[in-house]
A and B are shown apart, each in its own frame.
Chain A
Amino acid sequence: MTETCPPRRRWRLPQGAAPAIALVPAALITLVCFYLFIGWTFAISLTDSRLLPNWEFIGLEQYRRLFASSRWWTALENLGLYAVLFIGGCTLLGYLLAILIDRGVRAEGVYRTIFMLPLSMSFVVTGIIWQWMLNPGLGIQQAVRGLGFEEFAFNWLVRADRAIFTVALAGIWQQVGLCMALFLAGLRGIDPNIWKAARVDGIPTWRVYLDIVTPMLKATFFTSTILLFSLAVKSFDLVVALTGGGPGFSSDLPARFVMEHILTRQELGLGAAGAFVMLCTIAAVVAPYLYLQNRRGAA
């Protein structure tokens, strides 16, 4: 072991060039497909475009019309309510299921697979199934009444003040498995010594979850919230399939409002204004996440 191998000089890129080159496609897509498109949407929202884009600028007129529309406000309120219910429900149930599974059950794989099964369904299919289940004349209400409980009422699907809750219910059903998987993964990552220490200290199990484990899973809560939020914002096919935005437009969501105005109402300008407001709202909610992402990365 005395001779040395003379290193051969190879042609290569300067330091840092390779990652930069690898990022070119992503950078182009981000620039063009995300930001240029958002810019385009904004530009269109300043025009009186009907069915097709045109460039006759009319200032903020579309925004005035947008915010004068009670339907738009309903849609915005619904998004808030839906997001809270959907994210809260998924998180709570998903966490609970993950805890139950993590208690060391046999046939864990079976339960896990069952809980994740709805994830494989599209939102459209989810909407159709739940429309059946929740229809007062066909589904659960009818079935329970058939058992002799004549007074039983579960008619949220057709109640203007409750329809959005059914949308959240179907959404939770579909996505709870993702939350469960996220939390299960988080729980698996917790140092078993924590549990030993808590046992030695005689802390009841539920307290350990509440006071020790939950704070440790902060990152998981964070990630799942962001993922669910992105789904909530985008999940308008579910509303279309489940309630069609009804009764009336009581369960409308901004994405559906936008789509309907662009596609069927010849209101591209108004729809674009709605889309832009929607994206701004999202950006306001997400910006703190981006900030934290970056800061954490820098630490």
Chain B
Amino acid sequence: MYAPRKSRPIARPALAAALACWLSGVAAAQQAPARPVEVMHWLTSGGESAALSVIRDAFLARGGAWRDAPVPGGSGARSAAINRILGGKPPAVFLFSLGSQLDELAGHGLVATVPGDTAAWDAVLPPMVAKASKHQGRYVAAPLAIHGENWMFFNPAVLREAGVEVPRTWPEFVEAGRKIKAAGKVPIALGGQPWQERILFNAVLLGVGGREFYLKVYGQLDPAAIQSDTMLEVFRIVSELRGFVDEGSPGRRWNQATAMLMRGQAAFQFMGDWAKGDITAAGLEPGREIGCAFAPAEETAYIMVVDAWAYTNSDDPGTRAGQRLFTEVAMDPAVQAALNQRKGSIPVRTDVAPDGFDACARHAMEVIRDPATHLVSTGLFGLPGGVSGAIDDAISQFWNDGRLTPEQGRALFRDSVLAFQ
């Protein structure tokens, strides 16, 4: 039978080693937890795995015992965690998404309050992230990283060839897209899965409607906003974009789409910043060979997606000590810096220096200094999964059925929101 082996110390870049040394020095006074801490997560790909190992190495260096429990795919991992909790043998720590699912778990008392000192977090976490991490005023999750969803990656060579500048508004983008198509390239590399289609849609929604409008639609499900002419304009733009993707789009994974960009087959991709992991892995540098910009918009804003560590209740002092240590390590500024550099995201703490991050991340860190730019993905607003799911369905249906007019699209969107209220 398979027994998890103690992770052998693996040679890591100097940074991690130095970090571990430093942390172990700090932790001298800390009592070493005897019980292994089982960590359930979906960080299985190259970059993510490397990011996680920053936490793990530091955790081990400070005397923690780690039991890895990876489950591929976010939704699979989340339900696996829930199942384990229901089964009465939960992992000590598990990765989850901020939003109403976490809130419901907390409401049932199935997740513990974050162990350790969280007093300082309010000051360093972006307010929206802090709010989503709390349940009834207490932190129930320790955010892992901030990903941005409204990125537009592009291949500068393709743009040059077609003679277009990086568009700053959606009408400009439509113009550019036509030229690129005329030049024989695919304007938008899109993976045709509902969540990828939503990212594209939300980019248009933010770009056309602005921050206020985005907040009204997703934050309040405001009927007036949903039925406005602005919404119609959003759907009109989106319907124009349909012609900009290639035939093979449906079902494509996002990293296949990124590969199209890198190979020069396509000009743009609207994707979260995790795409940088693939770009880096291909030996290219984000911000140079592959450009990054915010999706066209009148107002600058950053749509944040945040995954966070949640903790299960335990009577075992060893486990509790392990959880406490885990929190300290995961929220440590040095760990935050190192892991987010590998993950392509930006630190959840606003007090981490931008040194060592790539150009795209530095830009994002610069932007979110202004809290007005903070926006979040649908889930983080606390929308129940049913509503955001139904919205995904509406967007996907509109995107994939070329016969639907913008008016019909707007109606679909409205109906999906109403049906679940």
Contacts and interface: CB of A to CB of B under 8 A. Distances in A.
A246 B396 contact: yes
B108 A52 contact: yes
Contacts of B248: 135-138, 158
Interface string B389-407: 1000100110111000000
B251 A52 contact: no
Interface in B103-120: 104-105, 108, 110
Interface stretch (B75-83, B198-206, B280-288): B75-83
A88 interface: no
What size tier do the contact residues of chain A reach? 20 to 34
Given A247-B192, A248-B400, A163 B389 contact: no
Contacts of B108: 52
A94 B330 CA distance: 56
Interface string B76-109: 0011001000100000000000001100110010
Contacts of B388: 265
Interface residues of B, number: 34
A203 interface: no
Task: Report whether over half of chain A's contact residues are helix, strand or loop; otherwise say mixed.
Answer: loop
B259 to A, nearest CB: 11
A157 interface: yes
Given A157-B250, A267-B389, A246 B400 contact: yes
A267 B386 contact: yes
A292 B160 CA distance: 72
A70 to B, nearest CB: 8
B194 interface: yes
A112 interface: no
A136 B393 CA distance: 24
Contacts of B78: 263-264
A138 B393 CA distance: 27
B75 A137 contact: no
A266 B104 contact: yes
B40 to A, nearest CB: 15
A51 B101 contact: yes
Nearest to B395: A248
B385 A267 contact: yes
Q: Which 4 A-B pairs have the closest CB atoms?
A: A266-B385, A137-B248, A248-B400, A247-B250
Interface of A: 50-52, 65, 68-71, 131, 135-138, 155, 157-158, 160, 163, 242-244, 246-250, 260-261, 263-267, 270
Given A246-B251, A248-B401, A270-B386, 5 more contacts: A50-B385, A65-B420, A69-B419, A163-B250, A266-B384
26 contacts: A50-B100, A50-B104, A51-B101, A51-B105, A52-B105, A69-B419, A136-B247, A137-B248, A160-B400, A160-B401, A247-B251, A247-B400, A248-B194, A248-B393, A248-B396, A249-B194, A249-B396, A261-B386, A263-B79, A264-B78, A264-B389, A265-B386, A265-B388, A266-B384, A267-B386, A267-B389
